[in-house]
Structure 1
Amino acid sequence: MHAILSIFRKEIKDALRDRRTLMTALISSLLGVPLMLLIFSIVLSQVESQEEKRTVLAVGMEYAPRLENFILRQGYQVKAAPADYEAKSRSKELDQPVLLVPTDFERKLQHGEKVTLEVAYDTNNRPAEFGLRPLKRLLEAYTQETAVMELTMRGVSAELLQLIDIKERHLQKPDQRKASITEMLPMMVLMAIVIGGMYAAIDTTAGERERGSLEPLMMNPVSGWQLTIGKWSAVALVGMGVVMLTIFSFFPSQWLIKNDTLRAEFQFGIRDAMAFLLILLPLAASMAALQVAVALDCKSYKEAQVRNQIVTMFIPFVSLIPIAFPGREPAWFRWVPVLAQNQMMNQVLKGELLSPASLGIASVICLAITLICLTYIAQKMRQVVMS
């Protein structure tokens, strides 16, 4: 035990001295979530600002007086679009879509002919694209009103077209929170875990081997298991530290949210933080063991970095798997590392209760990965140094 503690203390000191490891851990854990929530807040505010703007930019509105009257009755203002609206939309000077009214709009309506309204905007102009939905909703309301008036003038009751009334019935629990906007946060947390501990794992294996400091360590009367436990414990501690910093960065991150809708959806408390720790600490320990095992056979720091980056790419791919299964998620999800943690974190963000069975299965899988990797490291440690 004394040998393991000595190795552990040495590796922790080396990790803290390594600026690359320290800065990566701090940046990935402390800045990732705040930046993500800040971006979400800005984007959502832009969307809602278009909803609240209540202004329609149009070309040729003089050809559609009834449409203009309807828009004004809805509390909107109608403004003439600039003559060079196409260029201004491309250069993002114009932050709204432009309604294009044809010259024969009223004539076609009077004769019961189909007429086309165009909405012009540059697809690279995101603010203008955000204004598309409220404008289309406004035009659909006008289309419905026009159809009802035409039927009424012909003596046909509009209620004949509405014999079936469709209403939504939400089955959401009263205490269940929405997390549609924050569904990317679990992936950000998972990436922080992997990146935060990666450099510590590389430095304690391939880094020491490249510097020639691993051979003198082997000359001490320590077994492969003692070396393995000491080195893995240090890397796992770094990974777990990243987990804790990332999770507790959620609390000050909520101060950055200026959007009321996002603030109402994203409510992260102490209970949620404790649930995240239960979910992520076993994963951090298993990822540390896996990263040490991957870097152990590498003869240079750069080679180990490339191999561990391939492992890091595994997380985004796994996080995209639920897209292929819309609706109810298959039961085998909870048996897949990373995917199970992603699923459970989303449940916490939605305000749902964690399943003890899912948490237990995920923890056992992480423990199995840790033991397999540690066994491999203990057997290979001296062989790698002597080769």
Structure 2
Amino acid sequence: MMATIEILKKELRDALRDRRTLMTALISSLLGVPLMLLVFSAILSQVETQEEKRIVIAVGMEHAPQLENFILRQGYQIQAAPADYEAKSRNKELTQPVLLIPADFESKLLSAEPVRLELAYDTSNRQAEFGLRPLRRLLDAFVQESMVMNLTMRGISPDLLQTIDIRERHLQKPEERKTTLTEMLPMMVLMAIVVGCMYAAIDTTAGERERGSLEPLMMNPVSGWQLAVGKWGAVALVGMGVVVLTIFSFFPTQWLIKNETLRAAFQFNLKDAFGFLFILLPLAASIAALQIAIALDCKSYKEAQVRNQIVTMFIPFVSLAPILFPGREPAWFQWVPVLAQNQMMNQVLKGEALNFPAAGAALIVCSGITLTALLYIAQKMRKVVMA
């Protein structure tokens, strides 16, 4: 037992001394999620700014006096589009879509003939695209008003066309929070764990082998199991440290978010933090064991890094699995590592109670992965060094 603890201390010191491991762990845990939330906040602010502008940029507004009157009555301002609006939209100088009105708009409208309005914008101009929805909403309201006026002038009640009233009834629980804006957050947390553990796992195996420091360690009277547990314990502690730092970085990030919509959607408290810890700490331990097992057979640092990057790529692919199962998620999700944690984190972010049977299943799976990987590491440790 004492030998295992000494190995753990030695490996932990080496991990903390390695600048690459330390910087990767700190950056992935402290900056990843906060930066993502701040980007979401900036995007939402741009969308809301476009909706608050209340400006319509148009070409040919003189051909549509009725439309012009309606727009002004809604509290909007009308500006003539520049002659080179296409070029300005492409180079992002024009940050709103342009309404194109044909010369025969008014005459066709009065004679109840179909008439087309066009909304011009460059699809690569994100700000202009954000302004598309409020402009379409405004034009839909004009179409509705025009239809009502035409029917009224012909002595027909508009109510005859609206005999069925369709409304949405949301069945959302009162305590449930909307997380559409933050549904990518669990994947970012999972990526932080994998990246944070990776360099520590590589350094303690392929790194030591490349430096020639693994052989002297083997000369001590320690078993393969003691070596495996000691090295795994150090990497697992690094991974768990990344988990703790990542989760508690949510709190200062909440204070920095200025967008009210995102702030209302993302409400993270201590209860949620402990729920995340319960979900993620066993996963961090199993990922550490897997990464050590993968890097153990590698003869160089670079080879181990390439192999472990395959594990890193596994997370985004698994996180997309729910797309293939729209509606109720299958019960077997709770037995798939990463997918189960992703599912449970989304439940916590929605404000739902943690599903303890699902958490128990995930704990069993993670424990099984950890134990299997440790048995493999213990058996292979001395064989790899002697090879």
Using the size of structure 2 for normalisation, the TM-score is 0.99
Q: Give the corresponding residue for 1:164.
A: 164
Asked whether 1:272 is paired with 2:295, we answer no
Residue by residue over 1:66-98, the C-alpha shift from the partner in whole angstroms, topping out at 9 and shown as x without a partner, is 001111111111111111111111111111100
1:51 and 2:54 matched: no
Corresponding residue of 1:26 = 26
Report deviation, 1:328: 1.5
Q: Give the match for residue 241 of structure 1.
A: 241
SS at match of 2:272: helix
- Counterpart of 1:19 in structure 2: which amino acid? R
CA distance in 2, matches of 1:260, 1:333: 34
Query: Which position in structure 2 is the counterpart of 1:178?
Result: 178
Partner of 1:94: 94
Alignment of 1:129-140 (within 5 A): 129-140=129-140
The match for 1:353 is 353
Deviations 1:200-256 (A, max 9, x none): 000000111111111111111100000000000000000000000000000011122
Q: Distance in 1 between matches of 2:324 and 2:137?
A: 30
Letter in 2 for 1:351: G
Matched with 1:225 is: 225
The count of aligned residue pairs is 387
Unaligned runs of 5+ in 2: none
| Aligned-partner Cα distance in 1 for 2:139–2:219 | 80
CA distance in 1, matches of 2:141, 2:18: 63
2:379 is the counterpart of 1:379? yes
Amino acid aligned to 2:194: V
Task: Name the residue aligned to 1:155.
Answer: 155
Percentage of matched positions with identical amino acids:
78
User: Counterparts of 1:98 and 1:299 in 2: how far apart (Å)?
Assistant: 60
Amino acid aligned to 1:338 = V
Write the distance in 2 (CA, Å) between the matches of 1:150 and 1:124. 39
Aligned-partner Cα distance in 1 for 2:183–2:208: 39
The offset of 1:268, in angstroms, is 0.5
AA paired with 1:184? M
| Alignment partner, residue 5 of structure 1 | 5
Q: Secondary structure in 1 aligned to 2:156? A: coil
Task: Give RMSD over aligned pairs.
Answer: 0.7
Q: Which moved more, 1:213-222 or 1:326-335?
A: 326-335
State the alpha-carbon separation in 2 of the partners of residues 323 and 44 from structure 1: 24
One-letter code aligned to 2:98:
V
How far apart in 1 are the matches of 2:171 and 2:266? 20
* Contact kept in structure 2, 1:58 and 1:101, CA below 8 Å: yes
1:317: how far off? 0.4
Quick one: distance in 2 between partners of 1:32 and 1:326? 28
Query: What's the TM-score, normalizing by structure 1?
Result: 0.99
How much has 1:144 moved relative to structure 2?
1.1
User: Quick one: distance in 2 between partners of 1:360 and 1:156?
Assistant: 65
3-state SS, counterpart of residue 58 of structure 1: strand
1:272, CA displacement in angstroms? 0.5
Deviations for 1:333-366, whole angstroms, at most 9, x for unmatched residues? 1111000000110111110111111100001000
Q: Contact 1:37/1:256 (CA < 8 Å) preserved in 2?
A: no
SS of the aligned residue for 1:181 comes to helix
State the partner residue of 2:194: 194
Is residue 58–residue 80 contact of structure 1 (8 Å, CA) maintained in 2? Answer: yes
Aligned residue in 2 for 1:342: 342
2:355 counterpart letter in structure 1: S
* 1:366 correspondence with 2:372: no
